[in-house]
Structure 1
């Protein structure tokens, strides 16, 4: 197996066609086809379905594509680490959970462009469970995750402690004329929450269990956009930080109630792999992310977050 075969395979999948991939790679199509056949023979599996409409990954191909992407990124990172001068440069991929990107993404992008013009910062928005796997495999250089006691595979830098609130449509039936609710009251409502392995859900379940409580009626939605639509349809309420719904709260479409007895919060941390070294550029972005998070907390620009 050769690196060029990995590059060829990724290009074919990305472009959905052998002919288009050959044109982008500046490789004759028969040579590209031969390299693909050699790769499939080496792996002992068919990676692509070929048809008149183009090519599509088999199940084995989908698995191999993820690994090929990670390997090629690590090779690019290694080359960048060797060739970088004192001025950091190159590409850094940072993964953000859906519920954090509203607070952190734009300020970090602006700071990166101002302080490190030679660094291309790529932000990817994903579910936390997916981000952890991508960080382990090297598909992202850094990821913002939540400290649930399961972060031992990573080097972690605490960024902030973020309070969670009970959030519902402004005219919803839940707790009218109230500014705060107990955790027991919040858990008794119909709640729209991410799945058990993602986002705020593990933290909610852990705090509830510690208080001898449990959610009573849960609708699982793993998308902030769809979750907000469900809130606006008055299908239920949710427990989230304020940042993802701040525009709706400011426009009076939603309201956020503090939770007490006990309060509930989550620790936001920046994570890097323990086994894959960071490039100079990734190290610079890591430091910058911590600085930006601190500035947002100090300036009350990250609602509900306090600096750690």
Structure 2
């Protein structure tokens, strides 16, 4: 198996057509077809469904596509690392951010990267934390911001912030608390709109509830901040989240955010990298920059509810 075969296959899947891929790759279509046939023969599996409308990856082809992408990325990273060893950091760096973090961190980080490292192309991916975990393991991204739930042993991780979780509902909601603070037991007895199991804040809430001998009464599972926000504004329930992803609605008075007590709730936010794949100079520079930007945001109060780890 050759790297060019991986490049050819990824291009075919990306463009959905052998003829379009051949044009982009500047390769004759018969030669491309021959390389694809050799690849399928070597793997002993059909990788593509062919039709008059184009091509689609089979189930086996989808698995191979993910691995091919990861391998090509690692080869590119290796090439960049050698070049960067004697020059200023440059090249492409991919960083994954959970939905609930990107509102606070994404734009300040992009601006800082552009000003500090103009030769680095920073690619930000916004995803569910579980998906980011898998992408980091497979080498499809260089770095990821994840939540420390005690299951990050596979990664090289460094603490970023501790983020307070609050009870958030629509202003005037039937689920609204009578006081300025909400006991955890009271919050859990409410209809809560939360991410699905093993995503985002959910594991932290479940763990603290279990330790306190409590359980969630009624949960609506939504894995999208935008849809979750709409559901809260429609008064379908309340949520337990950091303030940052819903800050605009809280500041304009459409939502209320109340501290939780007995016990209080917070989560640990960490920056993770693979233990098995070395960081390029550019990725190491971005890692340092993430920590610097985070510290600046906390110092200036621009990341509400977050504080640097003690």
Write the distance in 1 (CA, Å) between the matches of 2:19 and 2:45. 22
Rounded Cα–Cα distance in structure 1 between residues aligned with 2:307 and 2:137: 28
Rounded Cα–Cα distance in structure 2 between residues aligned with 1:75 and 1:204: 40
Q: What residue is the counterpart of 1:82 in the other structure?
A: 82
SS of 1:197's equivalent? coil
Deviations along 1:54-91, one digit per CA (max 9) or x if unpaired, are: 11111111111111110100000000001113310010
Matches of 1:264 and 1:150, distance apart in 2? 19
**Alignment partners' CA distance in 2, 1:178 and 1:212:** 23
The 2-side partners of 1:293 and 1:196 are apart by 27
**Alpha-carbon separation, structure 2, partners of 1:14 and 1:141:** 21
Partner Cα distance (2:132, 2:193) in 1: 22
Q: Tell me the equivalent position of 2:100.
A: 99
Query: Take 2:228 and 2:60, find their aligned partners in 1: how far apart are those partners?
Result: 33
Equivalent runs, 1:46-125 vs 2, <5 Å: 46-84=46-84, 85-125=86-126
Is contact 2:169-2:176 (8 Å) kept? no
Q: Aligned partners of 2:47, 2:244: CA distance in 1, in Å?
A: 42
- Per the TM alignment, residue 171 of structure 1 is displaced from its structure 2 partner at its CA by 2.0
Note the C-alpha offset of 1:176: 4.7
For residues 135 and 298 of structure 1, the distance between their equivalents in structure 2, rounded to whole angstroms, comes to 29
- State the match for 1:186 in structure 2: 187
Q: What is the alpha-carbon distance in structure 2 between the residues aligned to residue 64 and residue 168 of structure 1?
A: 44
Look up the SS of the partner of 2:273 in the other structure: strand
Equivalent position of 2:249 in the other structure:
248
Q: How does 1:258-273 map to 2 (within 5 A)?
A: 258-273=259-274
CA contact (8 A) 2:197 2:203 kept: yes
TM value normalised by structure 1: 0.98
Structure 2 unaligned regions, length at least 5? none
Verify: 1:142 aligned to 2:138, yes or no: no
Q: Secondary structure at the match of 1:196?
A: coil
Q: 1:43 matched to which residue of 2?
A: 43
**Contact (CA 8 Å) 2:89, 2:282: kept in 1 or not?**
yes
Q: Secondary structure at the match of 1:290?
A: helix
Spell out, residue by residue over 1:128-164, the C-alpha distance to the aligned partner (whole angstroms, 9 max, x if none). Answer: 1110111011000000001100011111110100000
The gaps in structure 1 that reach 5 residues or longer are: none
Quote the residue 2:240 is aligned against: 239
For residue 177 of structure 1, report the CA deviation from its aligned partner: 4.9
Partner of 1:174: 175
Q: Match of 1:289? A: 290
Distance 1:31 1:68 in 2: 19
CA RMSD of aligned residues (A): 0.8
SS in 1 for 2:134: helix
User: Mapping of 1:175-214 within 5 angstroms?
Assistant: 175-214=176-215
Distance 2:254 2:37 in 1: 56
Alpha-carbon contact 2:97-2:126 (below 8 Å) kept: yes
Describe the superposition over 1:9-45 as per-residue Cα deviations: whole angstroms up to 9, x where unpaired. 1111111111111110000111111111111111111
Distance in structure 2 (CA, Å) of the matches to 1:136 and 1:62: 17
CA distance in 1, matches of 2:172, 2:59: 47
Contact 2:170 2:176 in 1 (8 A): no
Q: CA deviation at 1:293?
A: 0.4
Structure 2 counterpart of 1:300: 301
